Amino acid sequence: MEAIEYLREMVEIPSTFPNEQKMGEYCQKKLESFGFSVQAIELEGGRPNIVATRGKNPTLAFMGHMDTVPAYGKWNTNPHQLVEKEGKLYGLGAADMKGGLAAIFSALEKTDSPAMVVLTSDEENNSAGSHLLVSRPKLFEGIKFMVAAEPTEHGNKEGSILLGRRGRAVYKVDVHGRSAHGAHTERGINAIEKASELVLALRDFPLRKNTEIGSESLFVREISGANTSLSIPESASFWIDVHLVLGQDAESECTRLQEFLQNIYPECSVGIFDRGLPYNMPFYTPPETPEAEILASIVREVVGNTSFSHGESVADENVFAQLFPAVSYGPLGRNYHSANEYVEKESLINCEQIYQKLIKK
């Protein structure tokens, strides 16, 4: 089957997280028909994660996630039916990332070389599936290079290979004041006011700039504090969402934030917000990595040009790249996480050809 037909079948299978089961069944059957040995490792609730291997000692792995976000906004077409208009293929997940999966499947069907395929659930949430899989590193023995089929773009130009992504962590800041009667504000310390001062002070936090994967950024995502009586609030909290760059991790950035904020108001503390899973850390695969050079040469051959870019936010690649070099290359698409998502038909066909050549090499 061609990639477009695989994409048509995949779009018709609803797989909004946490309901990836039917998509997992579909993928497992197809991979087995291509000669793969398939291991299904489930998250709670029967949510599948697949590690499939073909041939002896594969060194190349393809990765994709099976879940989508909900069908946000007002669609002009049925989001669960693939519709072609003016060279664009519309459907929920067509770009993010069933188009990439369809290209992988079509390429695998037309080849018989050794390869691994890794498919996850929960990427659009907290990457629980990828964290589960990397907790079992023996599954990936021998893998030297992973290609994620996430949609990649550099402006409006096809051929961009994403070499890395920023990481992410969330921090909770607890601010301590001193209670007093509301009629005597001078006797207390209003924790909400102090928290507000600290939030505004973050405008001057020294962000790391101009790394290979861009610059660090942060925003305050939530603030809370209250008192139920006529008293000055003695506690308040706020949460900082940070996109991390190379040389940073969740712990080191926590230390930097605490030192900065305590220098302004000592009666505060900063901790890593526990979401129940590790946060996805930044990664970067240099373009001179031999496998990346091979991919770049194939992209140039098929598309006519190649370029390198980085991802502004996190994805499952962040998790797997802690084990081996990883890059992203998928078909060109738009409107993911919004209405009228689509993938470019020509780019999808090109992507399948690129994967096929990469498998053979």
Active site residues: 67, 123
What phi, psi does 111 have (nearest 5°)? -130, 170
What residues have CB less than 8 Å from 20, skipping those under 6 apart? 47, 48, 66, 67, 121, 122
Residue pair 168/280 in contact (Cβ under 8 Å)? The answer is: yes
What phi, psi does 6 have (nearest 5°)? -60, -45
What phi, psi does 68 have (nearest 5°)? -125, 170
The length of the chain is 361
In order of 49, 60, 169, 235, 248, the CA distances from 238 in angstroms are: 35, 43, 14, 11, 22
Q: Pairing relation of β-strands 60-65 and 268-272? A: unpaired
Helix, strand, coil: what percent of the chain each, to 5? Answer: 30, 25, 40
